[in-house]
Amino acid sequence: MVHCTNQSKRTNETALRLWLMSPSVAFQGEMGAYSEEAAHVHFGQADVRPFRTLRKVFDAVESKAVDYGIVPAENSIEGIVNQTYDLLLESPLKIRGEVKIRIEHCLLALPSTELRNIHVAYSHPQALAQCSRFLESNGIDAAPAYDTAGSAKMIHEKQLRGAAAIASERAAQVHELMVLQRDLGDYPENFTRFFVIGWDDARATGQDKTSIVFGTPHTPGSLHRALGELALRQVNLMKIESRPVRTTPWEYHFFVDIAGHRSDGSCAEALDSLRKATTFLKVLGSYPAAV
C-alpha cells in the first residue's frame, strides 16, 4: 500500500513538472475550440489559455503574458481569416510555425436530447455556413455566436433545451454535452491552417516556408516585376493574397508565402531584391512547413 502511495505521488510530481515546463499558449475561443486542438497538435503538452478575441491573443504574446499564440490563418473552404492577416501586418510578432487540422463539425446538445427536438443551432458564422445543408434539411435555424466551443459552453451553462451547438467532439467532452451527429459539413475535405506566433523565427529545417507582405507602386506591371524577382532566383511562390490598404482606397497589400527559410541563400537574395522592387516589405516569419 505504501509502495502504491509513493508511486502515485511520484507520478503526480512528474506530471506537475511536465506541466510547469510546458509552454503557455494563447488561443481565441473557449476550451474545446479547434484552435485549442491545433495548439496540442503542435506543442503536445501545453498550458493553453483561452482569450475572447484574436487581438487579445496577439496582445498576450506581445506583453509576454504567454510564450506563444496560435491563430487561424485560412480555411480550405472559406479562405483566409482577414483579421489574422491584418494583425500580422501591425504586430512585431513573427510566424514561427503552422498547423493544419481537419475540421469535423458535430451537433452537440444536452444529454437525452433528440435531433427532432432541436430548433436552433448556435456557432461561429463560418461553421454555420459550412453546415448549411444539414441545417436546412433538418429545419434548424442558424444562430451566430462568437465561437464554436463558446456555443457549447453556453448550451451547458444555460441548460438550453431545444437548442444545439455546432462544434468539435472535444467541445462536447469539455462542456458535458452529447454528440447528436458527427461530420455535418457540406464538404468533407475541410481543413484549417493555423499560425503559431511568437517573438522569434523558427530555425531552418530544410523544409520551410517564409511569409511576407509587401506593397507595390500604383503603376502598370509593378506586381509582375516584384514577383519576377522570385522567379529569377527559382524561389517557389506558394500562395498570394491581397488585402486592401485601409488608409488608401483601391490600393492593396500582398501577402505571399514562398518556399525556403529567410536565411537560405536564394531566399535571402530574393527578399533583398524584392525590397528594391516594392514600396515596403515585411517578413512575417520563417517556419517549418506543415505536412
Is residue 202 helix, strand or coil? coil
Which residue shows C-alpha cell 436552433?
120
Query: Which among 9, 69, 19 is positioned nearest to 45, based on CA atoms?
Result: 19
CA distance 175 to 226: 50
Give yes or no for a contact between 58 and 197, defined as CB atoms under 8 angstroms apart: yes
The torsion angle over the Cα atoms of residues 278, 282, 288 and 291, rounded to 10 degrees, is -60
Burial group, residue 78, by CB count within 10 angstroms (0-12, 13-18, 19+) = middle
**Residues designated as active site:** 192, 194
Kind of pairing, strands 178-181 and 106-109?
antiparallel
Q: At what angle do helices 82-90 and 54-62 cross, to 10 degrees?
A: 30
Residue 124 backbone phi and psi in degrees, to 5: -60, 145
Kind of pairing, strands 178-181 and 94-102?
unpaired
Burial group, residue 86, by CB count within 10 angstroms (0-12, 13-18, 19+) = middle
CA distance 37 to 67: 17
Query: Which among 43, 29, 45 is positioned nearest to 197, based on CA atoms?
Result: 43
